[in-house]
Amino acid sequence: MTNIQLASLFAAISLLGANQLVRAADPTHSDQPSVAPAEAISKLKEGNGRYTSGNLQHPGQTTARRTELATTQRPFAIIVSCSDSRVPPEIVFDQGLGDLFIVRVAGNVINDEGLGSIEYAVDHLGSRLILVLGHQRCGAVQAANETIAAKSKAPAHIQSLVTAIKPAVESTVKGDLDATIKANVEYVVNALRSSTPILKPKVDSGDVQVIGGYYSLDTGSVTFLDEK
Residues 6 or more apart in contact with residue 127 via CB below 8 angstroms: 34, 75, 76, 77, 78, 101, 121
**Residues 148 and 175 both lie in one domain:** yes
Alpha carbon separation from 27 to 63, 69, 72, 145, 169 (Å, rounded): 19, 10, 6, 43, 42
**Residues 152 and 65 both lie in one domain:** yes
Where residue 88 sits, what CATH number does that domain have? Answer: 3.40.1050.10
How many percent of the chain have pLDDT more than 90?
84
**Residues 10 and 85 both lie in one domain:** no
Mean pLDDT, consecutive 10-residue stretches, the chain (228 aa), reads 48 42 46 89 98 96 95 97 98 98 98 98 98 98 97 97 98 96 98 98 98 98 86
**Residues 67 and 121 both lie in one domain:** yes
The pLDDT value recorded for residue 21 is 37
**Residues 48 and 70 both lie in one domain:** yes
Query: What SS3 class is residue 26?
Result: coil
How far the first Cα of the chain sits from its last, in Å, is 51
Report the domain count for the chain. 2
Strands of the chain (E only): list them: 77-81, 100-104, 129-135, 209-215, 222-226
The pLDDT value recorded for residue 2 is 54
Rounded CA-CA distance 58/90 in Å is 9
- Name the pairing type of β-strands 209-215 and 129-135: parallel
**Residues 50 and 162 both lie in one domain:** yes
What does pTM read for this prediction? 0.86
Closest CA to 190 of 137, 141, 228: 228
**Residues 10 and 47 both lie in one domain:** no
**Residues 58 and 128 both lie in one domain:** yes
Structural domain boundaries enclosing 2: 1-31
**Residues 171 and 205 both lie in one domain:** yes
**Residues 15 and 63 both lie in one domain:** no
**Residues 10 and 55 both lie in one domain:** no
The pLDDT value recorded for residue 160 is 98
The pLDDT value recorded for residue 15 is 40
The pLDDT value recorded for residue 102 is 98
**Residues 116 and 21 both lie in one domain:** no
Dihedral of alpha carbons 127, 204, 225, 81, sign? positive
The pLDDT value recorded for residue 173 is 94
Query: What SS3 class is residue 189?
Result: helix
